[in-house]
Chain A
Amino acid sequence: MTTAFAAFILSFVSLFLIYAILVLALNLQWGQAGILNFGVVGFVMLGAYITGVLMIDPATVPHVDVGFNLPFPVAFVIAITVTGIIAWLVSSIVRLGIEELAIISLAFAELVHITIENETWLTGGTRGIYISSLLDEKLGLLEFNVAFAVILLVVVLLVYYFTRTLNFSQFGRILNATRQDELKAKSLGFNTVSYRMKAFVIGCMLMAVGGSFYMYFTMRAVPAMYPVDMTFIVWIALLLGGSGNNLGAVLGMCIYILMDALARLFLNIPGHPEIAAGLKYVIIGLLLVAVIVRRPEGILGPKRSRYG
């Protein structure tokens, strides 16, 4: 096995781990709190681009005017915080009517995309931004990928542990109650809107964690790296694996990534690029509909604490 091939496999694993963070975050929002977030990619982009802009060295990227040249940990913390504040603003505008928030988050993701494409002075527009990574300078290609996969694995485990603790805490139980019967939860004296908003903000911050690491891992960002289907991929993985179940969510993502890899290997129709490109989305859509209609609990089904 050549080094390049091993590095390729490892980068695939890293991508899976980043998506695992996203699907865990979405599980907190949809599986626990029952919030429809159609703007996953928007929050991922925010995390990634804020990290990028803070880390960029303006001397190396001529088409960008602003850059702060900060180290990754500082940029990471700021990115997460800022994304959290923005998520709070987005959700507080409508006080979290769920259907309305679904459409608003969809629009928000699109707005983030458009802003990043057009504000060239800040984000490099379609030409993108580049950062240098400390790990990359010291390690070779293979070592870099190994180190990164290990770091991400640790992060995924931390996020997993964090969401699990959250789900089984009082906070998680109140969220569960809110999702199942909002009126009842309200009558017990809980401010359901506030709890849901907290879940939304925490979920969006976790998505920004994924985006931030994605930026650091790839060391560049162009808008095309964050297509809208990122949102759909996370959704289909969550629904397939089982919403309300962290393990199921990660399993669903595993299945999706394997399917995607197989499709890339075998699904090639020479002369008709449109069919192959469109078929992917049609299959995602069909899967989404089929899971919702036929098996809404997914493969593993929801896992709740004893009380919920």
Chain B
Amino acid sequence: MTQQVWAILDSFLMQTAILFLLASGFFLIHRTANFLNIAHPDYATVGAYLIWSTASLLGWNVWIATVISMVATGFITNLIDRVSFRYLRGAPLALLLCSMGVGLVVRYSAFMIWGGRFKKLTIILPNLEIGGIVVSGSLLVALAFVGLVILLFYFILNYTRLGISIRAVADNPSLAENFGIDTERTMKFVWFLTGCSATLGGLVLAFYQPLTYSVGFRWILLIVAVSILAGERIKFPNLLGACVVITASMEIGLFFIPEYYRMGIGFAMLIIAILVRRVLQK
């Protein structure tokens, strides 16, 4: 009995962790640059592929590979911002449209570089046994990352100059600029953080599913739903709460609806998130 309950709980926790890590960067961009970056999950895919290349192909230590890939993805996201999004600041619809194009470029560049075959990231992690139930190492790592991201963002946003300027830019970009905050430098930092967190999301996603070029993109609906539900302020515990709610209702929905309509549940979740947000705003 405990085994069965744990099996459900295990998949629930894992999905929540993945969703949170994938959504954190998206959420940050949604609130600071004020647009829905559809290309975001593709950054996670690229990050995961980079880890796979350095760890499985070159044979480096996984954690070193992860850190290097995080930095690399951070630079890639910055590069993309430099050549595309930077010119469209403050125009959310044009940015959304642009991110659609960026998403296509990133996704299919990954397809061209790494091919269409499934890749498996093999990492041996020790399992933990508590009172008869086996907690898998990948779940522990995922939860540790979630905690790390929440703490790190809490620290950055509250106790560093750059973090405070991020909040200022999110609230009112032109006012922040008038007060002497270098908004472009802040945005560079935001995009860097976005790339880093996306890579963590990609790594945890690679524990859960085999890697393909579209592995991240399938999560986009839930990511948007979570980010809308999490509210206007940049508060990552709120985001985690939204992830828990969405994943739980998703799991409950899957009891009644066949697995191949997973997308349908995501669709319903998205609509509910939007409606709930509307009601809360009033």
A residues sitting closer than 8 Å to B (CB atoms) are 34, 36, 38, 93-94, 97-100, 102-104, 106-108, 110-111, 114-115, 118, 232, 235, 239, 274-275, 277-282, 284-289, 292-293, 296
Contact = CB atoms under 8 A, between A and B. Distances in A.
Given A99-B92, A274-B112, A292-B94, A285 B101 contact: yes
Contacts of B88: 292-293
28 contacts: A34-B93, A36-B96, A93-B275, A94-B274, A99-B92, A99-B96, A102-B36, A102-B96, A103-B220, A104-B270, A104-B271, A106-B221, A107-B263, A118-B261, A274-B111, A278-B111, A278-B112, A281-B104, A281-B107, A281-B108, A282-B104, A285-B101, A285-B103, A285-B104, A286-B105, A289-B83, A292-B98, A296-B94
A232 B271 CA distance: 24
B105 A289 contact: yes
B54 interface: no
B162 interface: no
A36 B108 contact: no
Nearest to B85: A293
A293 B267 contact: no
B100 A111 contact: no
A210 B103 CA distance: 27
Contacts of A36: 93, 96-97
Nearest to B228: A100
A42 to B, nearest CB: 11
A23 to B, nearest CB: 15
B11 to A, nearest CB: 21
Contact of B109 (A97, A282, A292): A282
Shortest Cβ-Cβ A-B pairs, 3 listed: A288-B101, A285-B104, A285-B105
B97 A286 contact: no
Interface string B183-215: 000000000000000000000000000000000
Given A99-B96, A107-B267, 5 more contacts: A94-B275, A100-B274, A110-B267, A285-B101, A289-B105
Contacts of A106: 38, 220-221
Contacts of A282: 104-105, 108-109, 112
Contacts of A107: 221, 263, 266-267, 270
Contact of A288 (B87, B100, B266): B100
Given A286-B105, A288-B101, A289-B101, A275 B264 contact: no
Contact of A284 (B104, B109, B116, B264): B104
Contacts of B267: 104, 107-108, 110-111
A279 B96 contact: no
B168 interface: no
B102 interface: yes
A99 B261 contact: no
A57 B198 CA distance: 51
Contacts of A287: 101
B221 A275 contact: no
Contacts of B46: none
A114 B264 contact: yes
Given A104-B270, A111-B267, A232 B104 contact: yes
Given A107-B263, A111-B263, A114-B260, A99 B221 contact: no
A170 to B, nearest CB: 25
Contacts of B35: 99
Contacts of B14: none
B147 interface: no
A289 B224 contact: no
A99 B93 contact: yes
Given A292-B88, A293-B98, A274 B116 contact: yes
Contact of B102 (A38, A100, A285): A285
B53 interface: no
Contacts of A289: 83-84, 98, 101-102, 105
Given A97-B274, A292-B98, A110 B263 contact: yes
Contacts of A100: 228, 274
B108 A278 contact: yes
A42 B267 CA distance: 14
A284 B44 CA distance: 21
Given A36-B97, A38-B100, A292-B88, A275 B112 contact: yes
B224 A103 contact: yes
Given A118-B261, A292-B88, A103 B270 contact: yes
B95 to A, nearest CB: 9
Contacts of A235: 97, 100
A296 B111 CA distance: 28
B115 interface: yes
A281 B109 CA distance: 9
Nearest to B261: A114
Given A107-B267, A111-B267, A118 B260 contact: yes
A98 B92 CA distance: 10
B260 A293 contact: no
A74 B116 CA distance: 43
A111 B264 contact: yes
A63 to B, nearest CB: 18
